[in-house]
Amino acid sequence: MTKKKIIKNIPGQVQKQQPGIESRMKPQPLSAPGDKATDKKLRNKVAIISGGDSGIGRATALDFVKEGATVVIAYLNEDQDAKDTEAMIGEMEGICLLLKGDISKPAFCNKVATKTLEAFGRIDIIVSNAAIQYVQDDFMSITKEQLERTFQTNVFGAFYLTQACLPHLKAGASIIYTSSVTAFRGSHHLIDYAATKAALIGLCRSLSAALADKNIRVNAVAPGPIWTPLIPASFPKDEVATFGKDTPMKRCGQPNEVAPCFTFLASDAASYITGQVLHPNGGEIIA
């Protein structure tokens, strides 16, 4: 097994847009699968990944392709990141379809499902990963516009994408939501974001019960501090420089350390797992 590279020190840096641009980050997040060996756990599967252009979404797309899946990447407006991801998949001799649009809009989610079916004839895996976050140290500073935009992207987008794809899922399909450690321990400066990520846990657990008799599994991944474009796009430079240092492992995680969680949950290896949450968070204990 190939030993994964570890980055312990991140220099302070800031980006002024959400959800951030990966190509501007220093150092670049580690997205490529750490282990090149594969038994093609996702052979012939078609996966839709929202926010798959960068960060955890990109790493998940690459890991899925390594395991034999075809991927459809829905992204907002980060064209260069999306093209970079497409190029990486091409280098792996994988198949990727890019779809640009706002995941918080039902019409775009319907388009994603339709275009996927037109191109590949099936949908086997949904990874609802797209998210935004805005730091506010004062609860009263969270504006109506910020609150609505955060919920529309992080929660409504997950609902709409699931609703658009669900009629086309067959037994054995997998739905995976990207939650967060903040859903379990809270965050005083990401209150609205933490609330959206907690909502996804409720969605995961409830929908898993609703779909269990159809053998469609629903799970979630709740990462801790991971080096993605959301970080320099959200926090001041000094906090970026110490990001992840408060974990038991004393560092932030890399996207390719989280992606295998999604691959496992999407695969038949997790055939008896539904309604559950995986916690790649650097050692924080979640009761």
- Which residues are marked as active site? 193
If one counts every other C-beta atom within 10 angstroms of the C-beta of residue 102, the result is 16
Rounded Cα distance between 84 and 54, Å, is: 9
Tokens coding 171: 């037994």
State the distance between the two ends of the chain, measured CA to CA, in whole angstroms: 31
The three-class DSSP label of residue 279 is coil
Residue 92: C-alpha distances to residues 95, 117, 203 (Å): 9, 23, 34
Judge residue 26's burial from the number of C-beta atoms within 10 Å of its C-beta, 0-12 exposed, 13-18 middle, 19 or more buried: exposed
Asked whether the beta carbons of 31 and 256 are under 8 A apart, the reply is yes
Q: DSSP secondary structure string, 69-104?
A: -EEEEEESS-HHHHHHHHHHHHHTT--EEEEES-TT
Beta-carbon contacts of 78 under 8 Å, excluding residues fewer than 6 positions away, are 19, 21, 22, 53, 54, 229
